Amino acid sequence: MLAMELIPSIRSLLAQLEPQRGTVTSGRRAALWRAQQHAARVDHTLEDLRRYCLESLAPRRFLDDEEHMRGYRQGFQAVLKEIRRVETREGPGAQT
């Protein structure tokens, strides 16, 4: 499955953040936007997007803002949750 099929879900997550403000929310938005940009590549699969999210969750030493990083991690974790949801729905024995 291509990662771009997850773009509507990522946009929905971004829309849920629209009325919110703050450092954590800013981090979430940044992660979701980056995941969406990665998913938009025609040749990227769900596995490519999963790998990108997991690599992005690696500790970053260059950012001191813990609140922003917490939101950043939460954003990528939300995308990983969506990937699992889609894979579970379309996995072996799933009803369509």
Q: Quote the pLDDT of residue 39.
A: 95
Q: Give me Rg for the CA atoms of the chain.
A: 14
Question: What are the domain boundaries of the chain?
Answer: 3-90
**Helix 23-39 × helix 7-17 angle, to 10°:** 160
The neighbouring-strand residues paired with 2 are 45
pLDDT tens, residue order, the chain (96 aa): 889 999 999 999 999 999 899 999 999 999 999 999 999 999 999 999 999 999 998 876 666 678 888 999 999 999 999 999 998 887 655 544
Sequence letter at residue 18: E
Q: Quote the pLDDT of residue 30.
A: 94
